[in-house]
Amino acid sequence: MIKKLVDTNIFIDRFSDSALYRDIFLSDGHVYLSAVVLMELRAGAHTKEAIRAVNELFEFFARVNRVITPALKDYERAGEIISNLQRSKGYDIKKAASITNDCLLATTARNIGATLYTQNKKDFLAIHDVFDFKVYIVNPKYVIKPVRRRRNT
């Protein structure tokens, strides 16, 4: 069974336009909700309507048993990835705190055998350079683009 882990930015776009990214949600496989994404959605929900939408989203994924919580090894790997990004890509963790959540999404996706769908090209390409996982970079205006592992020749 195909597993898909969807980043926060895609859910936010779907809240405002349910036609966006239909192919991700309606094609073969199951979509999973990461607890990390749930946290980010709840943090950004400031109106009654937004809070209700996040609650309904969570209730659906909980009902079908597709809420994923990062495991201890995901946190360990995320720490290693962050260290590698600081060393090899010049990331400043104090200025890019969201990279921690992105690393947890990447490790969780690999841990459950899922492909991660995101709009965040810059950070996830950097993570992909130091950590092998399946990721599709998407844009509401363009076709989904799978990221392939770069080979050193």
Decide if 119 is inside a domain: yes
149 within 8 A of 132, measured Cβ to Cβ: yes
Decide if 69 is inside a domain: yes
82 within 8 A of 100, measured Cβ to Cβ: yes
Interval 91-133: pLDDT, tens: 887 766 789 999 999 999 999 999 999 999 999 999 999 999 9
Q: Which domain holds residue 55?
A: 3-146
Decide if 8 is inside a domain: yes
What are the DSSP calls for 37-78, one per residue?
A: HHHHHHHH--SHHHHHHHHHHHHHHHHTT-EE---HHHHHHH
Question: Residue 85 belongs to a domain with what CATH number?
Answer: 3.40.50.1010
Residue 149 has pLDDT above 70, yes or no: no
Domain count of the fold of the chain: 1
pLDDT band at 139 (very low <50, low <70, confident <90, very high): confident
The count of other CB atoms within 10 Å of the CB of residue 57 is 17
Decide if 152 is inside a domain: no
Interval 48-85: pLDDT, tens: 999 999 999 999 999 999 999 999 999 999 999 999 99
Decide if 151 is inside a domain: no
pTM of the model: 0.89
Residue % of the chain over a pLDDT of 70: 90
Decide if 153 is inside a domain: no
Decide if 128 is inside a domain: yes
The whole-number pLDDT of residue 136 equals 93
